Structure 1
Amino acid sequence: MGAATTGAVRAGIGRGLRLMALLMLIVLPLLGAYAGSVRAADNSSAGSVYVIPIQQTVQSGLASFLDRALTEAEEAKASLIVLDIDTPGGRLDTAEEIGKRIRESSVPTVAFVSGKAASAGAYLALNANDIAMAPGTTIGAAMIVDGSGKPVDHPKLVSFWSEEMRSAAELNGRDPAIAAGMVDPARVVELKAIGETKEKGEIISLSADKALKVGYADKTAGTVEEVIAWKGLSDRSVVEIHPSLAEKIATFVTSPGIATILLIVGIAGVAIELLVPGFGVPGIIGLLGFGLYFFGQSIAGFAGMESLVVFLIGIGLLIVEVFVPSFGILGILGIAGVITGITMGAYDTGNALRTLGTSVLVASVIVAAVAYLFRKKGVWNRFILKDQLTTDQGYVPQLSRAHWLGQYGETVSALRPSGLALIGDQRVDVISSGEFIEQGKPVQVVSVDGTRILVKEIERTTANLNKE
């Protein structure tokens, strides 16, 4: 390996190590911020009423926040937990997780619908011990929809979610048929208390007054204070728990669209920095993208240190593969490490793989475009010989020897089978077809191939006649 190539490899490895170090500097302080944001409950708040807001889309970040808030209330031996609900719904798998956590709470819970409890929000409310609703609010409309808002009519999914809603309603003696009617438009449900019937093609959504009449609300209240007074705890102190800055960031970055964008930025940024070195900015942006992705997953409780370590090992192997060829072994191990680290740090492995696949495709297009635009600065150019032996730099190309074909000459040295011959007035290197030709013998050029001149021995009289 030449000095230039060795220098390029060393420079590349050094750049790779700097990328790794920067990634550690980005990720570890963020994880430290998470540790500082989760603090133990203050025992002085024992017997207090804890108010926890559910005023965002139901997704993984919310599940992490609610688990932390409920745990804090339980450790403080609170008298009551008020879940202030105003949500359009969200992920059903996350709603199941949160609903289970609410059911298992050792502190009595009241769901206070201050806005709307739609879709997954209705499920969360039904899992609380009691439900209070503010005037003008609604609960229900839990039909399953896809990412674009279109109804999902898959029988198994509709049946499963209907039963989940029915089970949640039965926890506190509510009519399970109404809960199923909030999900399945094919059902016909009679609401005798309000003199209405849900026909096929409709789903149930109840106002506060109707919910109170059919038993889907236990109280109408305008404020959280009225709910607390209804439970006879007006004399208790109120502790309001809000998401920390870290949890707000985590909620944002763990949303499906943002997570995909962060992975695209991470993959494209690091790849561009490796293939088109010298900029610095793409590498930093890429590492920030990966850092925010793992930070969000860590705060949400999905990504542990082991997933980050596996990811960093994968990145390291890919960097080494770029500069130290290993017949693809390190590259394959690196890709496996990156994929494993990202999927280990996600809420759902299947969803993480789909997100990663989309991110890789988009990032590949970006990297290809940037590599083409800056191809003259690419890392591969460090291993390509660019020097050209042109005439303008003083190099003279080999003159054609085709004109010697058929000419006669005389060997200056013995041909065994190569040697020297005098052809015309020039001494040139020649070769026989394998036979030995002594010095001073007449020869004729029978073939010229580049610099290779093939000769054969002839009679001297033939050579003399040719000269005459």
Structure 2
Amino acid sequence: MKRFLLGIIVCLLMIASFSGLTPTPAQAVGGGSVFVIPVENEIETGLTTSLRRAFTMAAEQDAKAIVLDINTLGGRVDAAMEIGELVRGADVPVIAYIRSKAISAGSYIALNAPHLAMAPGSTIGAAEVRQADGEVADPKVVAFWRAEMVAAAEHTKRDTNIVAGMVDRNVVIDGLKEKGELVSLSAEQAVKYKLADGIFPDLKAALQQYGYAGAEIQIYEPTLSEKLGRFVTQPLVIPLLLIIGLMGLTWEMVVPGKLLPGVIGASSLALYFWGHMAAGFAGWESVILFLAGVVLMIAEIFVAGFGIVGALGVISLGAGVVLAAHDTTYGLKAMLFAIILSVVLGAVLFKYFGHLGIWKNIIHTERQEKADGYVPTRSYRHMMYQVGRTVTPLRPSGTAVFQGQRFDVVSEGAWLPVETEVQIVLIEGTRIVVRPVKQGERNVVIPVQGEQEK
């Protein structure tokens, strides 16, 4: 238990130390620069927070323009919509420079920019929205996403029919796509259909085209905090951290170990909460709720609360995780999956290694076996049917004397006074059962009930 509590303390300390990695606004390097922001890899909620901070820094430094250096295969629709809103609301001119690929959600971000430049060999389009299992999304979702893409094209005065064809397979565009296909344009096609302003060999050439030749280029470099935050908030990483965290703490609680499982579990949970805090989705209240849930679940083991304490612990623990997540539904599913796996692991560990942990001090597991010497030190079988006399009342237990020795005996149920002549009729280990001897029946023995069956 000490190791388990130490793991929780490690979790808190790691969150507190990670909080110190949160970036502070950079000092201005002088007005009139072009602020280049990379938009790479998967579009997810962590990227949204990073870009929002980058746009704020660009505005504070009086940047002439913002360039989104795009190379992505897409990602979350909700994250892309937030970034698109950020681009449309920027006070600084925004240029989207597609260095390689702007696919799916990436194309939506690019289309929201007033200026769009393409690098040789780059592509844009194929924005069909799909579910997590890879299947095409519900028609309502497709219609909604199509409307968002078209709205972005309308805002920047681009061909809405071509943009609709990037999302909807049912759209037919003569000379470009048949029904059942998606629009995906090369750099040359994007310029031909006036989605892009031109093809430029590098970013400097594109900036010259837009009137920023010779401007100082400042590349926004995400901090370690932002990089970790983006990694931690990815959909596949969230359940992985929760599973490792809960299973590590479960292992440390059931099996003594060498503190390693507890440290790994606490570190995973610390990364989960800190990552969501760095991304702006969670606060310390989520951490407090989670730790309160852990404490209540432990208290349920030692306090007879009829399950109420444990139920409150599960609710508090789950609330902490769910409130920290950007998508509460996904956070709840990930948490339930992690709890189920932890319960299974705990049951397996308890079955095979429970005798090594704290449970050995709570649960009595020893058995008195004959092989271990747990047998009566003395046998009274030789005294069967002997006749003696009570020296204390039998109510129904008491003391009787047989051949000059005192023995603890019990009657068959009747209360017998002192100086009653009794005969032994049953011996079970150290238990001696007697019955009174009637006149004329001294040598007649009738077994008690159960003795005949034996």
Identity %: 40
Residue 421 of structure 1: aligned partner: 400
CA shift at 1:159, angstroms? 0.9
8 Å CA contact 2:409–2:434 kept in 1: the answer is yes
Q: What amino acid is aligned across from residue 291 of structure 2 in structure 1?
A: L
8 Å CA contact 2:94–2:114 kept in 1: the answer is yes
Residue 187 of structure 1: aligned partner: 171
Alpha-carbon distance between aligned partners in 1 of 2:336 and 2:298, rounded to the nearest angstrom: 21
Between 1:315-324 and 1:79-88, the stretch displaced more is 315-324
Matched, 1:38 2:24: yes
CA pair 362-416 structure 1, distance change in 2 beyond 3 A: closer
228, 236, 243: which is aligned to 1:249? 228
8 Å CA contact 2:31–2:63 kept in 1: the answer is yes
Residue 163 of structure 1: aligned partner: 147
CA shift at 1:318, angstroms? 3.0
Matched, 1:68 2:56: no
CA pair 114-387 structure 1, distance change in 2 beyond 3 A: closer
Residue 50 of structure 1: aligned partner: 35
Q: What amino acid is aligned across from residue 218 of structure 1 in structure 2?
A: D
Alpha-carbon distance between aligned partners in 2 of 1:366 and 1:445, rounded to the nearest angstrom: 56
Matched, 1:211 2:196: no
Alpha-carbon distance between aligned partners in 2 of 1:81 and 1:465, rounded to the nearest angstrom: 114
64, 77, 96: which is aligned to 1:79? 64
Residue 266 of structure 1: aligned partner: 245
Q: What amino acid is aligned across from residue 129 of structure 1 in structure 2?
A: P
Alpha-carbon distance between aligned partners in 1 of 2:219 and 2:373, rounded to the nearest angstrom: 83
Alpha-carbon distance between aligned partners in 2 of 1:79 and 1:465, rounded to the nearest angstrom: 120
Residue 108 of structure 1: aligned partner: 93
CA pair 178-151 structure 1, distance change in 2 beyond 3 A: farther
Alpha-carbon distance between aligned partners in 1 of 2:238 and 2:444, rounded to the nearest angstrom: 90
Alpha-carbon distance between aligned partners in 2 of 1:139 and 1:465, rounded to the nearest angstrom: 109
Greater percentage in helix:
1
Residue 134 of structure 1: aligned partner: 119
Alpha-carbon distance between aligned partners in 2 of 1:251 and 1:311, rounded to the nearest angstrom: 22
CA shift at 1:51, angstroms? 0.8
Residue 5 of structure 2: aligned partner: 17
8 Å CA contact 2:43–2:75 kept in 1: the answer is yes
Q: What amino acid is aligned across from residue 397 of structure 1 in structure 2?
A: P
CA shift at 1:386, angstroms? 5.3
CA shift at 1:33, angstroms? 0.8
8 Å CA contact 1:143–1:151 kept in 2: the answer is no
Q: What amino acid is aligned across from residue 87 of structure 1 in structure 2?
A: T
CA pair 323-412 structure 1, distance change in 2 beyond 3 A: closer
Deviations 1:17-68 (A, max 9, x none): 322221122111101111xx232451x4323211111121111121111111
Q: What amino acid is aligned across from residue 83 of structure 1 in structure 2?
A: L
1:222-371 to 2 correspondence within 5 Å? Answer: 222-371=201-350
CA shift at 1:399, angstroms? 5.5
CA shift at 1:398, angstroms? 6.2
CA pair 415-268 structure 1, distance change in 2 beyond 3 A: closer
SS of the residue corresponding to residue 460 of structure 1 reads: coil
Residue 7 of structure 1: aligned partner: none
SS of the residue corresponding to residue 296 of structure 2 reads: helix
CA pair 324-126 structure 1, distance change in 2 beyond 3 A: same
CA shift at 1:128, angstroms? 0.8
SS of the residue corresponding to residue 236 of structure 2 reads: helix
SS of the residue corresponding to residue 237 of structure 2 reads: helix
8 Å CA contact 1:272–1:371 kept in 2: the answer is no
Matched, 1:152 2:136: yes
Matched, 1:98 2:97: no
Structure 2: 5+ residue stretches without partners? 446-454
Deviations 1:85-140 (A, max 9, x none): 11111111111111111111111111111111110011001111111112221111
Alpha-carbon distance between aligned partners in 2 of 1:316 and 1:419, rounded to the nearest angstrom: 52
Structure 1: 5+ residue stretches without partners? 1-11, 191-195
Alpha-carbon distance between aligned partners in 1 of 2:194 and 2:332, rounded to the nearest angstrom: 43
CA shift at 1:155, angstroms? 1.1
Deviations 1:185-224 (A, max 9, x none): 122123xxxxx14211111011112111212112222211
Alpha-carbon distance between aligned partners in 2 of 1:390 and 1:147, rounded to the nearest angstrom: 58
Residue 9 of structure 1: aligned partner: none
Alpha-carbon distance between aligned partners in 1 of 2:443 and 2:239, rounded to the nearest angstrom: 87
CA shift at 1:406, angstroms? 5.3
Q: What amino acid is aligned across from residue 104 of structure 1 in structure 2?
A: G
CA shift at 1:82, angstroms? 0.9
CA shift at 1:363, angstroms? 3.5
**What RMSD over aligned residues (CA atoms) do the two structures have, in Å?**
2.6
Alpha-carbon distance between aligned partners in 1 of 2:359 and 2:65, rounded to the nearest angstrom: 65
CA shift at 1:314, angstroms? 2.1
1:395-434 to 2 correspondence within 5 Å? Answer: 396-397=375-376, 407-423=386-402, 426-433=405-412
SS of the residue corresponding to residue 442 of structure 2 reads: helix
SS of the residue corresponding to residue 33 of structure 1 reads: coil
8 Å CA contact 1:112–1:134 kept in 2: the answer is yes
CA pair 289-277 structure 1, distance change in 2 beyond 3 A: same
TM-score, normalisation: structure 1: 0.87
Alpha-carbon distance between aligned partners in 2 of 1:441 and 1:325, rounded to the nearest angstrom: 51
Alpha-carbon distance between aligned partners in 2 of 1:329 and 1:16, rounded to the nearest angstrom: 22
Residue 359 of structure 2: aligned partner: 380
- Report how many residues are paired: 445
8 Å CA contact 1:421–1:427 kept in 2: the answer is yes
